[in-house]
Amino acid sequence: MTSMGLHKCWKITRAMVSFIIFLSFLEESKACEYDHASLEAFVRDRANQEIAKARAGTLYDIPLPSNFSGMNFSVLRVRSGSLRRRGANYSSYNLPPLIKLEPYVKRIAIIFENFGNWSSRYYHVPNHTIVAPVLGLLAYNTSETALVLSRRLNLSIREETPIKVRFFRSWVHGNNEEKPVCAKLGDDGRLVELKEMREPFVCDTQSEGHYTLVVPVLEEAKNKDARQRYHNRTRWAALIGIGSGLIVLLLVICVFVVIKLLKRRKLKTMEETAEKGEIIGEFWVGLSKMPSASMVRTQPALEN
Q: How is residue 52 annotated by DSSP?
A: S
Residue placing its CB nearer to ligand NAG in the complex, 36 or 222:
222
Contacts of 257 by beta carbon, 8 Å cutoff, 6+ apart: 5, 9
| Secondary structure class of 78 (helix, strand, coil) | strand
By the rule CB under 6 A, 170 interacts with ligand NAG: no
By the rule CB under 6 A, 127 interacts with ligand NAG: yes
Contacts of 284 by beta carbon, 8 Å cutoff, 6+ apart: 290
- Select from 88, 101, 239, 240 the one that contacts ligand NAG (CB under 6 A): 88
- Select from 72, 141, 205, 212 the one that contacts ligand NAG (CB under 6 A): 141
Residue placing its CB nearer to ligand NAG in the complex, 86 or 289:
86
Contacts of 190 by beta carbon, 8 Å cutoff, 6+ apart: 124
Site for ligand NAG in 18-77 (CB under 6 A): 65, 67-70
CA distance from start to end of the chain: 50
By the rule CB under 6 A, 86 interacts with ligand NAG: yes
Residue placing its CB nearer to ligand NAG in the complex, 81 or 291:
81
- 166 within 8 A of 94, measured Cβ to Cβ: yes
By the rule CB under 6 A, 117 interacts with ligand NAG: yes
60 DSSP β-pair partners: 75
Residues at the contact surface with ligand NAG, assessed by CB under 6 A: 65, 67-70, 86-89, 94, 103, 105, 117-118, 121, 126-127, 141, 143, 149, 151, 222
